[in-house]
Structure 1
Amino acid sequence: MTDYVVIDNDKDFVAAAETLAVGQGPVAVDVERASGFRYSQRAYLVQAFRRDAGAFLFDPISISSFVPLQEAIGAEEWVFHAASQDLPSLHELGLDPASVFDTELAARLLGYERVGLAAVVERALGIVLAKEHSAADWSTRPLPNSWLEYAELDVLHLVDVRDFIASELETAHKTAFAAEEFEATRIRQPKPPREEPWRRLSGLHQVRGAKNLAVARELWEAREEFARESDVSPGRLVPDRALIAAVQANPQNKGALAAVSAFTGRASRSQLDRWWSAIERGRERTDPPRERVPSDAPPPPRAWGDRNPEADARLKAARAAVEARAEELGMPTENLLTPDTLRRVAWEPPTEINAASIGFALAARDARTWQIEETAQRIADAFVEAAQTVDEAPGTAS
């Protein structure tokens, strides 16, 4: 069995970067994180492969600066499978590609039924990859050899897959579509922090009353602080369901909190003072959170028929038109146009309905040029047809 080497010192790292710099063609890049184990989304392993250079495994924890790698390959095309997952971790290391090719995203545009890396590699090259370590704790040191084999295989065939898929995109006349999608992925900025991130607590809908919500908020914030300090995923410390159980139990003292059977997790008992203090703070707060949070999003479509029949008709007609075009193009509807974008335009359409005005509305919601060209006229036609249908409906004033 091959012994895989992780580069974990600056001298060998610089030498590897120099080797990659004189390689040929695009560079396959991948990142392994410790999602579900660690608090951060930092990279714990970076893999790179380039023809005439070979594959390299880098330990970001031990390497002082990734500048040599950025200087070596920064101007080249980087090949990813699901680039949006890896780019944020690479940005933290100062690694930013000038252009990207995303084999997973391209596979979606081509209408592949299965778009996971193993499925795409098998389809493109006939090579079967094992994926048994995809959910491993990559912060483990030293990393087992079998994990390193898996990590190298993630990039070893990716450039060949890229060439196969690029040919398929050309044949399907989707090269321009893909180029826009790749660039949008490359330059996409991270979403701004949520105003009230504690509302992401799973099961929060079970909590009734502003005072109880205040307790839930304090427990969530206490868990976040401890998770950040210890660099452990919050859910591994105390699961969401356990925090909700603690709120619903309404314990009157620390002992009663400890007796809540559903209040479980590796830190539920060892950090009991922390959790009890959070409960007390929540009960003492004079600024309890709102029970209902206003949203700028349209209501659920199931309510449109009663609340806004015209918008309901627009959405149904436009959705059918977009779905039909996606089927013609051989791709998932959500890749042609996201459902949220279509809902928002249907709920608040432009004053004048035509392809140009719909195009502006779609662009304002970050639709790409190719998506607008493929859908704007069809949506405009659907909106006009929907308006006529509503006007002609029995009981509708003319």
Structure 2
Amino acid sequence: MTDYVVIDSDEAFASAAHALAAGQGPVAVDVERASGFRYSQRAYLVQVFRRDAGAFLFDPIAITSFAPLQEAIGAEEWVFHAASQDLPSLHELGLEPARVFDTELAARLLGYERVGLAAVVERALGIVLAKEHSAADWSTRPLPNAWLEYAELDVLHLIDVRDFIAAELDAAGKTGFADEEFEAARVRRPKPPREEPWRRLSGLHQVRGAKNLAVARELWEAREELARESDVSPGRLVPDRALIAAVQANPQSKGALAAVSAFTGRASRSQIDRWWAAIERGRERTDLPRERVPSDAPPPPRAWADRNPEADARLKAARAAVEAHAEELGMPTENLLTPDTLRRIAWEPPVPVDAGTIGEALAARDARRWQIEETAQRIADAFVEAAQTPDEAPGSSS
């Protein structure tokens, strides 16, 4: 078995950056994180491959600055598989591509049934990749050789896959679509933090009453604080379901909390003082959270027929038109237009309804130009058709 070398010194890193600068063509890039193990989404391994340079595995924990790599390849096209997952971690390292090619996103636009890296590599090149280490704890040091082999293979074939898919995009007349999607992925930045992130607790809908919600909020914040301090994924400390169980049990003492069988996790007992203090704080709070949070999102579509039958008719007509066109284009409907965007416009359409106003509404919700060109007129026509009564419909008798 090959012994894989992880570059973990600034001197070796500078030499690798020089070699990559001398390579040819696009650059394949991938990132390994420790999601589910660590609190942060930082990169714990960065893999880079370029023709005539080779593959390199970088340890971002040991390297002082990634500026030499940015200088070496920053102007080149960077090839990813699912760029949106890797770009935030690369941004933290100061790595910013000027151009992006995303083989996963392109595979979706081409209508591939399976778009995971292994499936796409096999379809494009006939090479079978093992994916057994995709969920590993990449913060482990030293990294096992088998993991490093897996990591290198993630980039080793990516340029050849890029060339295969680029040809397919061109043959399908979808290169322009893909270019706009790639650029949107490149410039997209994370959404701002939620105003009340504790409401992301899975199972929170089971908690009744503002006072109990205040306890849930304090437990969530106590867990976040411990997770940040220890750099451990919150769910590994105490799972969401355990926090909810602690709230529902309504314990009257620290001992009663420790006795809650569903209150589990590696820190449920070792940090019992922390959790009990959080419960007491929650019970003492006077600034109780709202039991229902107002939302600007439309209600679930199943309620539209009763609450807004006109909107229901618009959505059904437009959804059918968009789905039919997505099938014609050979791509998933959600890549042609996100369901949430269509729902929002159907619930509150622009006035007057025509391709121009629909296009403006789509652009305001970050639809790309190609999506607007492919859907605006169809949505407008569907809305107009849905608004017609039987007496007004073309060809109806009076």
Aligned residue for 1:149? 149
**Cα distance in structure 1, aligned partners of 2:374 and 2:154:** 34
Which residue identity does 1:210 align to in structure 2?
A: A
Whole-Å separation in 2 of the counterparts to 1:389 and 1:378: 19
Residues 113-152 of structure 1: pairs in structure 2 closer than 5 A: 113-152=113-152
Moved over 2 A (4+): 389-393
Q: Are the equivalent residues in 2 in contact too, given 1:353–1:383 (CA < 8 A)?
A: yes
Q: Which residue of 2 aligns with 1:172?
A: 172
1:233, CA displacement in angstroms? 0.1
Question: What one-letter code is carried by the residue in structure 2 that aligns with 1:150?
Answer: Y
Question: Which residue of the partner structure matches residue 95 of structure 2?
Answer: 95
Corresponding residue of 1:355: 355
Instruction: Return the letter of the residue paired with 2:37.
Output: F
- Alignment-derived partner of residue 68 in structure 1: 68
For 1:48, give the aligned amino acid: V
Distance 2:354 2:213 in 1: 46
Query: Which amino acid is 1:194 matched to?
Result: R
**Which SS does the other structure have where 1:47 is aligned?**
strand
How far 1:304 moved relative to its partner? 0.4
Query: Which residue pairs with 2:314 in the alignment?
Result: 314
Work out the percentage of aligned pairs sharing the same amino acid: 89
Partner of 1:245: 245
Corresponding residue of 2:197:
197
Q: Hey, what does 2:345 align to over in structure 1?
A: 345
Counterpart of 1:16, as a letter, is: A
Cα distance in 2, alignment partners of residues 296 and 357 from structure 1: 21
Matching residue of 1:396: none
- State the alpha-carbon separation in 2 of the partners of residues 173 and 330 from structure 1: 11
2:274 is matched with: 274
C-alpha displacement at 1:217, in angstroms? 0.2
1:235 partnered with 2:209: no
Q: Distance in 1 between matches of 2:46 and 2:390?
A: 56
User: Once the two structures are superposed, what CA deviation does each residue of 1:222-260 show, in whole Å capped at 9, x if it has no partner?
Assistant: 000000000000000000000000000000010000000
Instruction: Tell me, yes or no, if the aligned pair for 1:42 and 1:89 is still in contact at 8 Å.
Output: yes
Equivalents in 2 of 1:390, 1:340: separation in Å? 29
Paired with 1:160 and 1:79, the residues of 2 have a C-alpha distance of: 10
Secondary structure of 2:15's partner? helix
Q: CA deviation at 1:143?
A: 0.2
- What corresponds to 1:287 in structure 2? 287
Q: For the residues of structure 2 that align with 1:206 and 1:182, how far apart are their CA atoms? A: 40
* Residues 1:28 and 2:28 are matched in the alignment: yes
1:189 Cα shift?
1.4
Cα deviation per residue 1:39-95 (whole Å; 9 max; x = unaligned)? 000000000000000000000000000000000000000000000000000000000
* Displacement after TM superposition at 1:194 (Å): 0.4
Residue type matched to 1:271 in 2? Q
Which residues of structure 1 form unaligned runs of 5+? 394-398
Partners of 2:389 and 2:145 in 1: CA distance: 65
| Distance in structure 1 (CA, Å) of the matches to 2:292 and 2:391 | 35
User: Secondary structure of the equivalent of 1:127?
Assistant: coil
The alignment partner of 1:28 has SS state of strand
Amino acid at match of 1:35: S
Query: Number of residues paired by the alignment?
Result: 394
Secondary structure, in 3 states, of the residue corresponding to 2:41?
coil
Q: Secondary structure at the match of 1:113?
A: coil
| Structure 2: runs of 5+ lacking an equivalent | 394-398
Once residues 299 and 391 of structure 2 are traced to their aligned partners in structure 1, the CA distance between those partners, rounded to angstroms, is 23
Q: Is the 8 A contact 1:236 1:266 kept in 2?
A: yes
Cα distance per residue 1:85-136 (max 9 Å; x no partner):
0000000000000000000000000000000000000000000000000000
Q: Distance in 2 between matches of 1:338 and 1:133?
A: 31
User: Separation in 1 of the partners of 2:195 and 2:104?
Assistant: 32
> CA deviation digits over 1:353-378, x for unaligned, max 9?
11011000000000000000000000
**Residue number in structure 2 paired with 1:296:** 296
Alpha-carbon distance in structure 2 between the residues aligned to 1:390 and 1:66: 66
SS at match of 2:388: helix
Deviations 1:251-297 (A, max 9, x none): 00100000000000000000000000000000000011000000000
SS at match of 2:38: coil
TM-score, L = length of structure 2? 0.98
Write the letter of the residue equivalent to 1:233: S
Helix, strand or coil for the counterpart of 1:246? helix
* CA deviation after TM superposition for structure 1 residue 389, in Å: 3.9
Deviation, 1:392, is: 6.1
Query: What's the offset of the Cα at 1:390?
Result: 7.4
Whole-Å Cα distance in 1 between the matches of residues 389 and 56 of structure 2?
61
Distance in 2, matches of 1:300 and 1:208, equals: 22
Instruction: Tell me the C-alpha RMSD between the 2 structures.
Output: 1.1
Could you give the per-residue CA deviations for residues 145-198 of structure 1, whole angstroms, max 9, x where no partner exists?
Answer: 000000000000000000000000000000000000000000001101001000
- The reply to whether residue 211 of structure 1 matches residue 208 of structure 2 is no
SS at match of 1:105: helix
SS of aligned partner of 1:265: coil
- Displacement of 1:351: 1.1
CA contact 1:356–1:376 (8 Å) conserved in 2: yes
